[in-house]
Amino acid sequence: MFQIPGSPVRLSLLLLCFLSSPLVTAQSSLDDRLVQASPDVIAADPELTSHMEAVAQSVITEHCAACHGADLTGKIGVPNLVDYDWNWGVTGYEMTQSEGVFEIMQTVLYGVRNQDCAEDIKRYGGCPDTRFSQMPGYSELGLTEVQLSGLVEYTLSLSGLDHDEAAVESVSNFTGLCAECHGDDGSGYKPFGGPNLTDDIWLFGSDRQQILDVIANGRTESCPAWSSTLSPVEVKAVAVYIYKTSMGY
């Protein structure tokens, strides 16, 4: 065992003393309370709120900011995490805040379209419990350029933007392709991760060429699973922070 020069105290005893210090005990107590507390309890406790925000900011700086930005507002192709526009889980009809936080925690823990696991345990194209959806490339499925352009106009029509009505009518037999994930009215289907096409939020851009690229070539972007990287308190803190910030309080 390592001996500290000039001292009979062994490193293990020093470490034990450190872990027993008031500072470490207080830190552990805050971590434990944060993991166990509901969002309402955290919000009502200034000390817990401060601790949650400090832990979350550390996680964001180290792990999230590279893609989503330091303020989590994203960029083209990377979701804004704090605008309350959710592809997964959170609907706005939850009975408690905890339900929304748990949905965010699942995404943080298991990622989106995560493939980083053994082939023999993958299900439906991804690792267990990962959020999985697939936007296929319809050019590879045999649609012509005219049909693809018609679907672009259909997408524009759903969001109330200027569009070619005749082109929309020409692809009326194909719009059912979109309904499974985006819903019959285009407002999205969260269990499948289908984005809302009727609002003014565009992950990949709203001009015709950008929409055409998505429809023709598909999208398979992913977010890694953080379950083996983040501690329980870090997962809880960042999930509560995202939910709280999205709700505007």
Output the pLDDT for position 123.
Answer: 87
Output the pLDDT for position 124.
Answer: 83
Instruction: Check if 12-116+224-247 and 145-217 are the same fold.
Output: yes
Task: State the Cα angle at 189 between 158 and 171, rounded to 5°.
Answer: 40
Q: Which amino acid is at 128?
A: P
Output the pLDDT for position 217.
Answer: 97
Output the pLDDT for position 238.
Answer: 98
CB-based burial label for 136 (10 Å; 0-12, 13-18, 19+): middle
Q: Would you identify the CATH topology of the domain 12-116+224-247?
A: Cytochrome Bc1 Complex; Chain D, domain 2 (1.10.760)
Output the pLDDT for position 55.
Answer: 98
- What spatial distance separates the first Cα and last Cα of the chain, rounded to whole Å? 51
CB-based burial label for 85 (10 Å; 0-12, 13-18, 19+): middle
Closest CA to 235 of 49, 60, 108, 135: 108
List, in order, residues 6 or more apart from 79 with CB less than 8 Å away.
68, 87, 203
Output the pLDDT for position 26.
Answer: 64
Output the pLDDT for position 248.
Answer: 84
Output the pLDDT for position 89.
Answer: 86
Taking the model in full, what pTM does it have? 0.85
Output the pLDDT for position 249.
Answer: 76
Output the pLDDT for position 11.
Answer: 37
Output the pLDDT for position 28.
Answer: 76
Domain locations in the chain? Answer: 12-116+224-247, 145-217
| pLDDT tens, the chain, 249 aa long | 334 344 444 334 333 333 334 544 566 799 999 999 999 999 999 999 999 999 999 999 999 999 999 999 999 999 999 999 999 988 888 899 999 999 999 999 999 999 999 999 998 889 999 999 999 999 999 999 999 999 999 999 999 999 999 999 999 999 999 998 999 999 999 888 999 999 999 999 999 999 999 999 999 999 999 999 999 999 999 999 999 999 887
User: Which CATH superfamily is 145-217 part of?
Assistant: Cytochrome c-like domain (1.10.760.10)
Output the pLDDT for position 125.
Answer: 82
Residue 4 structure tokens: 């500290």
